[in-house]
Amino acid sequence: MTLRTGHIGLNVTDLDRSLAFYRDVLGFALIGEGEEEGRRYAFLGDGESLVLTLWQQAERPYDGGRAGLHHLALEADSVERVEEYERALRAWGADFAYEGVVAHHEGAASGGIFFHDPDGTRLEISVPSGAEGAPAPSRTAPACGFF
């Protein structure tokens, strides 16, 4: 058996703010939330299973210069859906690494958008195909590696 991702756990500085972002902007469903030993948490899903757990236990925002998570990549059904997410994220005021949908590398059919959550965690929403002709931030290296 090959391992696969079960769910992702993220430390956040403000659970209410992060919950609003992941639930209201990205559309994850709230499965449950609670508090134990002074730590608040929320479980978010896709309607069928747990996808993301938010833990309010961080004192500082994400630090891309430390070992650990580089970015969290999510996959959408179509490039049109990626563009819908982009509009919602821009309305929310998200910080983007690139303008619009970009290809993963020059000539790739895959691509997406690259942005940051309220704590600065790097996120990607992409599609495996449909981004043909989109600009590529890098000719050979993946776009996700340079933000």
Q: Of residues 48, 83, 124, 132, which has the active-site annotation?
A: 124
Q: Please state, in angstroms and rounded to a whole number, the distance separating the CA atoms of residues 76 and 126.
A: 6
Catalytic residue status for 36? no
Contacts 24+ apart (CB under 8 A), 63-72: 63/120, 64/120, 64/122, 69/10, 69/121, 70/122, 70/144, 70/145, 71/114, 71/121, 71/122, 71/123, 71/124, 71/144, 71/147, 72/8, 72/10, 72/121, 72/122, 72/123, 72/124
Q: First-to-last CA distance in the chain?
A: 33
| Active site amino acids | 124
